[in-house]
Amino acid sequence: MIAENVKTILREIEGGNPFGEKVTLVAATKTRTADEINEAIAAGVTDIGENKVQEFTQKYDFVHGARRHFIGHLQTNKVKYLVGKTDLIQSLDRFELADELQKRAEKAAWTAECLLEVNIGCELSKSGFGSEEAYAAYKKIGAAYKNIRLRGLMAMLPLEGKAEDQAALVKRMRALFDALRKEDAACAHLSMGMSGDWRLCVENGSNMIRLGTCLFGERHYAV
């Protein structure tokens, strides 16, 4: 079932986005076992993302052959567990976190590749830089944090909303992404799109999607 789902999605994104870019599928693996994740990797998944440090660490040695992303809210006191182990931290959402990442990465002689998280819908429940401050924050981190290498932007769409409003938000992110990329070729990823909205995101310029439910089925949280 997982393998079939992976292949279906990979086939669908094979042609890339309307901007002529390859679309990268990141499997969002929260609550999934290492066996399930390895099944997805065997079916073609190249990138996986966890959103809790504890789960990331527990599964780390049992999952093989994929690039590791961290996609959840990251507490500063847990940064140390990710140093040297993540290919891309997508949730760089505040300067306090950048400070801690810089400190830990420098000590380990490592460079943290990150996406700047933008709170595009201005939602109180979500973290991230505001869309007005994101450009300046990106430039500042790019210039002043030697052990952080920014590779693009990440955002989550509000769950509720008309398709045209959501499309407008993706387009706004895409405009910001294009402006940054013009000045910095390392800016390569616009990570937007989850199971419920990924097609709309890709149509409007996303080139990285993070899918959980679409690949693995509904999540059941242990109580």
Ligand X SMILES: *Cc1c(COP(=O)(O)O)cnc(C)c1O
Q: Applying CB under 6 A, which residues contact ligand X?
A: 28, 30, 51, 71-72, 194-196, 210-214
Residue 215: CB minimum distance to ligand X, A = 8
Residue 112: CB minimum distance to ligand X, A = 18
Residue among 20 and 125 whose Cβ is closer to ligand X: 125
Residue among 156 and 180 whose Cβ is closer to ligand X: 156
Residue 86: CB minimum distance to ligand X, A = 14
Residue among 71 and 97 whose Cβ is closer to ligand X: 71
Query: Is the CA virtual torsion 10, 14, 16, 18 positive or negative?
Result: negative
Tokens of 129: 């830089």
Q: HSE of 90 in the Cβ direction (CA atoms, 13 Å)?
A: 26
- Give which of 93, 94, 113, 116 is closest to 105, Cα–Cα: 113
CA distances from 10 to 23, 55, 80, 133, 208 (A): 9, 25, 33, 34, 12
Residue 191: CB minimum distance to ligand X, A = 8
Residue 210: CB minimum distance to ligand X, A = 4
Residue among 152 and 212 whose Cβ is closer to ligand X: 212
| Bridge partners, residue 208, by sequence | 24, 191
Residue among 109 and 126 whose Cβ is closer to ligand X: 126
Instruction: Report d(CA 126, CA 159) in Å as an integer.
Output: 11
